[in-house]
Structure 1
Amino acid sequence: MNLSARQVLVVSEGHTEVRLLKRLFEEFNLLLPDIVSLNANLYKLYLEYESYECDYSDLDITAVLRSCSQVGTKDKEKLRGKSATDFTDIFLVFDLDPHTPDFNEEALRKLLSHFNDSSDVGKLYINYPMVESFYHVPHAVLDGNIRTFPPIRFTLSELTAYKKRVNLEGIKQSRRYTQDEYKNVIQRHAGIVSLITEASVRSTHELKVQVGLFEIQQADIKSSREAIVVNTFCLLIPEIYPSKCHLEEIQKD
């Protein structure tokens, strides 16, 4: 498909996702998507869908967002007169937030099961533990080194201060990076997903891999109250624009 023919809608949790999405799309010279912020976490989206008391497949996400009190007026205006069929791709990008009181494992499974196709109802990407994980990589990753190893782990007990940890250990959130540097960071996260799920790097955006990632991470959280830091929503770039952000398989030692 001609890149200019793509009409992409991204439903984000908040403003941090919006800023990062814009930076990525601009640096890769891509047409900016329509971005609508829910201004609430994934569990609020779940409650919104549940409030209709019907099968999720009967709902059009654009109509749900237009009627949602959490969505701002300007964002609702972006969806005026539109339906899901007006977009070639729809993505939802949200945080796992396993430390919050409203964390709901079964709700996540239901949402992952429904949002399973970016070209239809939409596709859900979950960040572990939150969107700032994109920047939580070793500095050497920017130069194309240590693309996958070693993985970084987080514990539930530290998550209220996780953003401070990212500022101390990760790359700068305020800095704009080159296209190659962003590619290296995305490659790193794809490599981590591959490491966790044993899937190929180039398949890490696939739904079955993302579902497998959730189940493995959730099992670790339940058993040890910790899991591996990995950002998944950045994979939407190589998913829909593989020629712009080509992923390489990691050579195993």
Structure 2
Amino acid sequence: MNNRKKGLTLILVEGVDEKDPFLKVICHTFPKLKIDYEKEVYTFNTNIYHLYDELVKEYGDENGNLDWEQTDVDLPVLLSREYPELKGFRKVNFKNILLCFDYDCHDPHYSPEKLDAMQKLFSDSSDNGKLYLNYPMLESYCHCDLREKEAFLDLKVKAKELTGEQYKPLAKSYSNLYRIFNIESKLDLSKEEKLREALFDIEYSTEKHQCLSDIRSQVYLSHPEYSQKQLNKFTGKVYSCLFHKTIAYKEKESFLQFRRRTIQTLVQYHQEKALVMIQKETLQEEVDMQKILSAQNELLREKEHIYVINTSLLFLIDFNPRLIEV
């Protein structure tokens, strides 16, 4: 057995978009989670309905029947066939097991009954694992304007808009949240560590002219060969990625501090929306994922739309509610 110690976290996500940048940014922004992004996050590389089929194949009887409420699933054992580094490990080696998948009601294999079974099976992060479904998909995290809380609490999307080709561009362009999560790639900073650190650590002024001047100075230090036109263009792009169309940043706040506060506010919005959906009154009450799923299935069946909500964000609260205190 490797040197893996009991008490670590195992996170299974649907695909690479969930792993990078979504979970990567969250893990780096909240180091108190103590999640080793490189070693504890794994991709399944297909959707929730294929995972359902894999579980039936592994744990079902010869007729394909499976007792979804009583079956003891050991996810690390199942994943070890794809990831050799997990060989020899069982779920007891992990303090928390999380699964982050999309609702994917546009998928040909969509089945409310299958989703219900999966949500019941994966209801405890310290046992089989806890399933966090994103409605309609991962990109729901950026389908929110933090300046318009009440609008988000009632935000729905029509069934005909639920395919990835239609929904993803809609969500990504809705506010600046997608840029905030993807700023490294948007600014092509992967090979510019010094510029990245400088831009992230500057204590920005809320006065736009001074803020642009500070950004421009850092860009010039890294790229003295830039022409005035290139400097101005890149400076404007940085400013847009950092602060356009989102909550107001505070005086002398670095981008890292701003991104943490942005995510904290975002999680609070999604938590409040979840509790409204299941008619809970206080933020101290735990979100019942089964009730969220039932409410969404009913809304889709009767009204042909669903609420936009990303429950994967809520794992921050399950880990430690103080993490989202602004």
Task: State the TM-score bracket (shorter-chain normalisation).
Answer: 0.7 to 0.9
How far apart are the structure 2 equivalents of 1:88 and 1:38? 20
* Matched residue, 1:185: 266
* Matched residue, 2:142: 135
Deviations 1:39-63 (A, max 9, x none): 0000000000011224562431111
How far apart are the structure 2 equivalents of 1:150 and 1:125? 19
* Matched residue, 1:13: 14
Question: CA 1:149/1:40 → structure 2, altered by over 3 Å: closer, same or farther?
Answer: closer
Residue aligned with 2:177, SS: coil
Q: Once structures 1 and 2 are overlaid, which stretch shifts more, 41-50 or 28-37?
A: 28-37
Question: CA 1:59/1:149 → structure 2, altered by over 3 Å: closer, same or farther?
Answer: closer
**1:245, distance to aligned residue in structure 2 (A):** 2.3
Residue aligned with 1:193, SS: helix
**1:238, distance to aligned residue in structure 2 (A):** 1.2
Q: Does residue 299 of structure 2 align to residue 239 of structure 1?
A: no
* Matched residue, 2:47: 41
1:229 to 291, 302, 308: 308
Deviations 1:98-154 (A, max 9, x none): 11111011111111111111011101111100010011111426xxxx277542111
* Matched residue, 1:124: 131
* Matched residue, 1:64: 78
RMSD: 2.1
**1:224, distance to aligned residue in structure 2 (A):** 1.5
CA contact (8 A) 2:9 2:97 kept: yes
Q: Once structures 1 and 2 are overlaid, which stretch shifts more, 15-24 or 172-181?
A: 172-181
CA contact (8 A) 1:14 1:39 kept: yes
Unaligned 5+ residue runs, structure 1?
248-253
Q: Once structures 1 and 2 are overlaid, which stretch shifts more, 234-243 or 53-62?
A: 53-62
1:1-253 alignment, distance < 5 Å: 6-19=7-20, 20-29=22-31, 30-33=33-36, 34-52=40-58, 53-54=60-61, 55=67, 57-67=71-81, 71=82, 76-140=83-147, 146=149, 149-160=152-163, 161-176=166-181, 178-199=259-280, 200-205=282-287, 209-246=288-325
Identity %: 26
Q: How many residues align?
A: 230
Unaligned 5+ residue runs, structure 2?
62-66, 182-257
TM-score of the aligned structures, taking structure 1 as reference length: 0.84
CA contact (8 A) 1:13 1:39 kept: yes
How far apart are the structure 2 equivalents of 1:202 and 1:175? 28
How far apart are the structure 2 equivalents of 1:179 and 1:112? 29
TM-score of the aligned structures, taking structure 2 as reference length: 0.66
**1:159, distance to aligned residue in structure 2 (A):** 1.7
